[in-house]
Structure 1
Amino acid sequence: GKNGYLDLFTGDSSYAKQWKYTDAPDADARAVQAAYWADVWAKQQGKGSDVATTVGKAAKMGDYLRYAMYDKYFKKIGNCVGPSTCAAGTGKDASDYLLSWYYAWGGSNDTNGGWAWRIGSSHVHGGYQNPLAAYALSSYADLKPKSATGATDWGTSLTRQLEFYRWLQSSEGAIAGGATNSWQGRYASPPAGTPTFYGMYYDWEPVYHDPPSNQWFGFQAWSMERVAEYYQQTGNAQAKAILDKWVKWALSKTTINPDGTYLIPSTLQWSGQPDTWNASSPGSNSGLHVTVADYTNDVGVAAAYAKTLTYYGAKSGDATAKSTAKALLDGMWNNYQDSLGIAVPETRADYNRFGDAVYVPSGWSGKMPNGDAINSSSTFTSLRSFYKNDPAWSKIQAYLAGGAAPVFTYHRFWAQADIALAMGSYAELLE
């Protein structure tokens, strides 16, 4: 619109020119994780100075990353109900010491009006946590932030993250969704009996519900891989206890076929809820359950899962974890290579959503950056007409007209990177 997207949200007649950024805390934490390994390996080669500048930047970024620990509007953590009655935080009592979904900041572009803003996030997902990054920022000299309390805060976060995993661990072993300090995103009252973690309410699908944010096994593999790296580096007993249970469950749901092909969990379904957290006497979560709805041979998730098994197996000595890691890596290498990388065909029934209507408030209209009209009759595809220029568009078009779901072989960059890292980790630790 004439004010960008601002007038979708407020009814002002005019708006100041402004800039804004949003941050993905899990990605920043993974960058810290990478900087940690770069520093470790460079020092082993006597070349620590080669990465010192980059590692220093990672430490500084880790300092700012603490904004991800705070409630969206910096309200106190715990039993926070009612936007006007939930108390504003002072000092660090608005911090949950976990990696939340995002934080954001912005300000004025007008030199005559200096103002700025920042927000945190009230929603925390189990899949976003990174104990290795918290360990590095709290205990590893080259990555400790220079601020007075940065390293101490990350030390608190490390303990809190491990507690969070324990609180979210189902009876079977998988890690459930997460928690929020702002029920329904507006500090509403949760249903009676909703369990809590340091006063934050359990949410089995934090942030997004279409599809549910914790139905994807990939979040399990990604997050547990970070726990396994931390365990491999430190031997931490809490991390081992979480991994012991998780690995046993994951292995029980993994199939390695005689020809080397494999099936791992894909879609998870959740029921029940955890016990309210008691740090001195954690509950057994006997009422929190997970089932596997379907399975996949996805190479990116399999690589992350193999990395988890590699780091866990290397430290624990678990023979099945080590042999399954090898089987997954050998299986994708021998069965799923092509001229571009390693990938598998995917039947994509979700492309039926291309025709979905997109809600636009009545009376509002605008244009997408490419010129596509935005109005109350917009659909997913009408806002993204560039898809129709894709050489494979006819497959989607035929499906939307009632044909079979299209099959595509995607070479996702993150998946190719995870495969390479998994191969390297296995070679380093288990070859």
Structure 2
Amino acid sequence: MKWKTSRRRVAMVATGLLFTGGLVGISAGAASGDTTPTAKLALAGPYGDQFLALYQKIKNPANGYFSPEGVPYHSIETLLVEAPDHGHETTSEAFSYWLYLEAMYGRVTQNWAPFNSAWQTMERYIIPKETQSNYNAADPADYAPEALHPSQYPAVGGKLDPAVKVGADPLAAELQSTYGTSQVYGMHWLLDVDNVYGFGNCGDRTSKPAYINTYQRGPQESVWETVPHPSCETFTFGRQGNGGYIPIFIGDSSYAQQWRYTNAPDADARAVQAAYWALTWAKEQGQQGQIATSVANAAKMGDYLRYSMYDKYFKTPGCTSASCAAGTGKNSSTYLMSWYYAWGGSQGSASGSWSWRIGSSHNHGGYQNPFAAWALSTVPELTPRSATAKTDWATSLTRQIDFYTWLQSADGAIAGGATNSWNGNYSAPPSGTPTFYGMAYDEKPVYHDPPSNQWFGFQAWTMERVAEYYYVTGDARAKALLDKWVTWALANTTVSGSTYQIPSTLRWSGRPGGNWQAGTTSVNNANLRVTVVDRTTDVGVAGAYARTLIFYGAKAAHAQSRTTAKALLDAVMTHSDTKGVAVPETRNDYNRFDDVLSGTGDGLFIPSGYTGTMPNGDQIAPGKTFLDIRSFLKQDPEWSKVQTYLNGGAAPTFNYHRFWAQVDVALALADYDRLIGS
């Protein structure tokens, strides 16, 4: 996230941050407010029936996917630690998946009320309302370097250096002129849906869902090393009355009350992707007018999503020191989808009035979305209203395909990414590091615990977007990427009846074979290699992977992709239960609940001299653990399984029902039904 002191503006983000039965009609469920059955279903066979059956499980209030406010939880289960640290938090990712689910439901039933309801709920709860009337685009934020380990905060990371020149924000005036507001129309990435922590919003202790954040301190900060904190800092918690949580992240003599939000660009882009399909299917039904407002808002979201194209401090690509050139106009844009953009401002007027905006210097292959870039630059209803947005997204489309091509290994998988800020402080990268438009190749961008490039899920997610883009446009460059990627993925996939194995952990070696700049069309990546370390039955990743194979197989007439997609879906659906689909997961990493920091190793780091309390009274101080500042987890119905493990027993096993995973499987079923059939 970002922080501000009373003295100057600072923006400081470190990491951020898966039945058959013929149904005649179906209720949208309480979360959408719609209970009208529909008579006409756009289904062709049993996979469409399975989509509707899984949809009904997801929307059944008794199954617990949605809060009383109608907000989708990250998972049904509460004791879950991964990117969110509690299952009843939610993410912008979940909202974007919900939109896609309702778009498909609208296609099947011609009922678009649930799609509109999902967009309205998203707008109400996870798009912040604060405005920035005092924002100075010529001086968007003060520089604070990142550090490589949480133990270096706030002494090194987050140490303000207002002498470092930052670039100008070229979007603010255009957006203000277009929309007549200084509100940023983008989702914050994380909500405490049930207000489990007890922050509420702006210190009120009770309101929910509540805006929160966790990650803050460099690439080595895993979820197990995070300190959860409110997005609106009023000094009510943490070090009360004297900085709240800010002194854990920023070192200064005094602190100002403030608010700050972080956007996950892949989620906003997925929302645009969902809006495209909703528009396409509603047009086929002659009902596009029913979703016109939601589609217009998707275009608006795409307008602000351009902030993700910019370097964190609006510096020009190719930086190798903090004194590198500050950007002017759009020369600080990479035209890629970076890890985040963020914005914030002062709370109240006691310390004056200020606000800030930043982009991100780190670009991950798994976050790119050429399909959204294509839709935002070619589809009239989704083209943002701002004068330069269409051109920006057209440029981004080409740049993203270039990026994939530069990162594609000899085996076919897509490697990590590139950064414009080596070590998070604009250091010079190691000599000989290949570059993409001046940005250094980064094997594991953004986070290292675990390495961000090792999860096959990023491969499936990002290549599914490429496959959708290829399916709609027939772009030969996209097909070339998919030809190679699909061959590699299929070679590492086994399916036999109800048994299946897909890649899970990846190990990388080598690097791209040259620099990519304007005019480059290829590089020799013979030495950029990937190895599949182990495999998984993760239902969500399997769903996303199957969707990639479906779109590619349908467009390229690739028989093995089609048959493997069918076999995967058949195998996944053997793991159906009353709430969805799930497979057992053994969580060996849950031994980190009580990790105590030793030197600069793993464990929760709290700066020397800092003491504070969580809303429930848990003490925040040096020597405390992840669990110590989340003692409420001990009351979870599933906690005894973890405690047994911490006491020396076997690693616990859970059957998790993640919202995004259920939706990816549901969408794969519907995609197979409509594109390939039985």
Report the counterpart of residue 60 of structure 1 in structure 2. Answer: 300
Residues 74-96 of structure 1 show CA distances to partners (whole Å, capped at 9, x for unaligned) of 00112x0111x211000111000
Report the counterpart of residue 64 of structure 2 in structure 1. Answer: none
Report the counterpart of residue 397 of structure 1 in structure 2. Answer: 643
Matched, 1:326 2:566: yes
Report the counterpart of residue 90 of structure 2 in structure 1. Answer: none
2:346 to 108, 113, 119: 108
Moved more, 198-207 or 110-119: 110-119
Report the counterpart of residue 246 of structure 2 in structure 1. Answer: 6
Report the counterpart of residue 177 of structure 1 in structure 2. Answer: 416
RMSD of aligned residue pairs (Cα, Å): 1.1
Matches within 5 A, 1:202-217: 202-217=441-456
State the alpha-carbon separation in 2 of the partners of residues 165 and 103 from structure 1.
Answer: 21
Report the counterpart of residue 96 of structure 2 in structure 1. Answer: none
Report the counterpart of residue 428 of structure 1 in structure 2. Answer: 674
Moved more, 68-77 or 103-112: 103-112
Report the counterpart of residue 50 of structure 1 in structure 2. Answer: 290
2:634 to 368, 383, 388: 388
Report the counterpart of residue 366 of structure 2 in structure 1. Answer: 127
Report the counterpart of residue 348 of structure 1 in structure 2. Answer: 587
8 Å contact 2:336–2:399 — kept in the other structure? yes
Residues 86-118 of structure 1 show CA distances to partners (whole Å, capped at 9, x for unaligned) of 110001110000010001101122347332101
Report the counterpart of residue 313 of structure 2 in structure 1. Answer: 73
Residues 209-248 of structure 1 show CA distances to partners (whole Å, capped at 9, x for unaligned) of 0000110000000000000000000000110000000000
State the alpha-carbon separation in 1 of the partners of residues 403 and 616 from structure 2.
Answer: 43
Shift of 1:260: 2.9
The code of the aligned residue for 1:389 comes to: Q
8 Å contact 1:131–1:162 — kept in the other structure? yes
Matched, 1:417 2:663: yes
Matched, 1:144 2:390: no
Shift of 1:123: 0.3
Q: Flag the 1:235–1:281 CA change in 2: closer, same or farther, 3 A.
A: closer
8 Å contact 1:300–1:416 — kept in the other structure? yes
Partner secondary structure for residue 674 of structure 2 = helix
8 Å contact 1:16–1:110 — kept in the other structure? no
State the alpha-carbon separation in 2 of the partners of residues 90 and 369 from structure 1.
Answer: 44
Matched, 1:306 2:565: no
Partner secondary structure for residue 416 of structure 1 = helix
How high is the sequence identity, in percent, across the aligned residues? 65
Task: Return the TM-score normalized by structure 2.
Answer: 0.62
8 Å contact 1:123–1:181 — kept in the other structure? yes
Partner secondary structure for residue 383 of structure 1 = helix
Report the counterpart of residue 555 of structure 2 in structure 1. Answer: 315
State the alpha-carbon separation in 2 of the partners of residues 191 and 19 from structure 1.
Answer: 37
Shift of 1:332: 1.0
Partner secondary structure for residue 59 of structure 1 = helix
State the alpha-carbon separation in 2 of the partners of residues 243 and 143 from structure 1.
Answer: 26
Answer 1 or 2: higher relative contact order, Cα 8 Å, separation at least 6: 2
Residues 369-391 of structure 1 show CA distances to partners (whole Å, capped at 9, x for unaligned) of 33211100111111111110111
Report the counterpart of residue 255 of structure 2 in structure 1. Answer: 15
Residues 348-386 of structure 1 show CA distances to partners (whole Å, capped at 9, x for unaligned) of 111111122301111111122332111001111111111
2:482 to 237, 243, 248: 243
Report the counterpart of residue 230 of structure 1 in structure 2. Answer: 469
Matched, 1:200 2:446: no
The code of the aligned residue for 2:347 comes to: N
Partner secondary structure for residue 355 of structure 1 = coil
The code of the aligned residue for 1:417 comes to: V
Partner secondary structure for residue 423 of structure 1 = helix
State the alpha-carbon separation in 2 of the partners of residues 218 and 369 from structure 1.
Answer: 35
Moved more, 205-214 or 378-387: 378-387
Residues 250-290 of structure 1 show CA distances to partners (whole Å, capped at 9, x for unaligned) of 00000012x33210000000001112234434112001000
1:188 to 427, 435, 448: 427
State the alpha-carbon separation in 2 of the partners of residues 369 and 178 from structure 1.
Answer: 39
Partner secondary structure for residue 431 of structure 2 = coil
State the alpha-carbon separation in 2 of the partners of residues 227 and 330 from structure 1.
Answer: 24
8 Å contact 1:71–1:122 — kept in the other structure? yes
Report the counterpart of residue 63 of structure 2 in structure 1. Answer: none
Shift of 1:194: 0.8
Shift of 1:192: 1.1
Gaps of 5+ in 2: 1-238, 596-602
Partner secondary structure for residue 384 of structure 1 = helix
Shift of 1:340: 1.2
Report the counterpart of residue 276 of structure 1 in structure 2. Answer: 514
Gaps of 5+ in 1: none
State the alpha-carbon separation in 2 of the partners of residues 11 and 182 from structure 1.
Answer: 21
Moved more, 203-212 or 392-401: 392-401
8 Å contact 2:279–2:291 — kept in the other structure? yes
Task: Return the TM-score normalized by structure 1.
Answer: 0.97
Instruction: Give the structure with the higher percent helix.
Output: 1
Aligned residues: 427
State the alpha-carbon separation in 1 of the partners of residues 266 and 659 from structure 2.
Answer: 17
Partner secondary structure for residue 593 of structure 2 = helix
Partner secondary structure for residue 187 of structure 1 = coil
Shift of 1:10: 3.1
Matched, 1:377 2:623: yes
8 Å contact 2:547–2:671 — kept in the other structure? yes
Report the counterpart of residue 328 of structure 2 in structure 1. Answer: 90
Q: Flag the 1:11–1:283 CA change in 2: closer, same or farther, 3 A.
A: closer
Residues 135-157 of structure 1 show CA distances to partners (whole Å, capped at 9, x for unaligned) of 00011111001111001000000
Moved more, 102-111 or 161-170: 102-111
8 Å contact 2:373–2:397 — kept in the other structure? yes
Partner secondary structure for residue 294 of structure 2 = helix
8 Å contact 2:514–2:524 — kept in the other structure? no
Partner secondary structure for residue 664 of structure 2 = helix
State the alpha-carbon separation in 2 of the partners of residues 370 and 138 from structure 1.
Answer: 48
8 Å contact 2:422–2:429 — kept in the other structure? yes
The code of the aligned residue for 2:338 comes to: S
State the alpha-carbon separation in 2 of the partners of residues 277 and 146 from structure 1.
Answer: 35
8 Å contact 1:173–1:245 — kept in the other structure? yes
State the alpha-carbon separation in 2 of the partners of residues 370 and 197 from structure 1.
Answer: 48
8 Å contact 2:460–2:541 — kept in the other structure? yes
State the alpha-carbon separation in 2 of the partners of residues 24 and 161 from structure 1.
Answer: 17
8 Å contact 1:231–1:312 — kept in the other structure? yes
State the alpha-carbon separation in 2 of the partners of residues 189 and 228 from structure 1.
Answer: 36
8 Å contact 2:512–2:527 — kept in the other structure? yes
Report the counterpart of residue 161 of structure 1 in structure 2. Answer: 400
Residues 52-73 of structure 1 show CA distances to partners (whole Å, capped at 9, x for unaligned) of 1000001011000000000000
Report the counterpart of residue 495 of structure 2 in structure 1. Answer: 256
Partner secondary structure for residue 282 of structure 1 = coil
